[in-house]
Amino acid sequence: MRKSLFRLGPVLGPSGGLLEPLAHLTRWFLGGHVGSGQQFFSWIHIADLMRMFLCAIDRDDIAGVFNAVAPSPVTNAEFMRELRRALHRPWSPPVPAFAAKIGAWVMGTDATLALTGQRCTPTHFLESNLAFEFPNLREALANIFPNQ
């Protein structure tokens, strides 16, 4: 039996998920980078994730363990800068690590999700010639927030 295992990066889409609280904070001018801002953020647009799933189902040569991320990871600082740009917000002050830990506790999540990062690329899917609809963060956010 052929098996495919996906390691998902943060999935970006128009409803719910990670972007909902980040967009809310950014709209309130609290969209600064977290900690040093240099931690990597390997994300993927929901449309490209669905394309990966379908590719794994349809193609017999797709088997194994895969990074389900876009081909262009960004730092936390770059991600927040692009989110502010998509939402038409100016510079925001950075969030110190201690404040991120307090905020994570209040939200019932883990601060290490924001304070650490992983730089991943979808090597197997790139080698399999999968065409990404949203390979760059700016394009992905423009699709998610078209009327902002």
Residue 109 pLDDT greater than 80, yes or no: yes
In whole angstroms, give the CA distance from residue 78 to residue 137. Answer: 9
For residue 79, which amino acid is it? F
Q: What is the mean pLDDT of residues 94-119?
A: 89
Query: Between residues 123 and 147, which one has the greater pLDDT?
Result: 123
pLDDT in tens, 28-52: 999 999 999 999 999 999 999 999 9
pLDDT in the model for residue 38? 96
pLDDT in tens, 51-105: 999 999 998 888 899 999 999 999 999 999 999 999 999 999 999 999 999 988 9
Domains located in the chain, CATH noted: 4-142 (3.40.50.720)
Between helix 76-86 and helix 137-144 the angle, nearest 10°, is 40
Instruction: Confirm if 44 and 79 have CB atoms less than 8 A apart.
Output: no
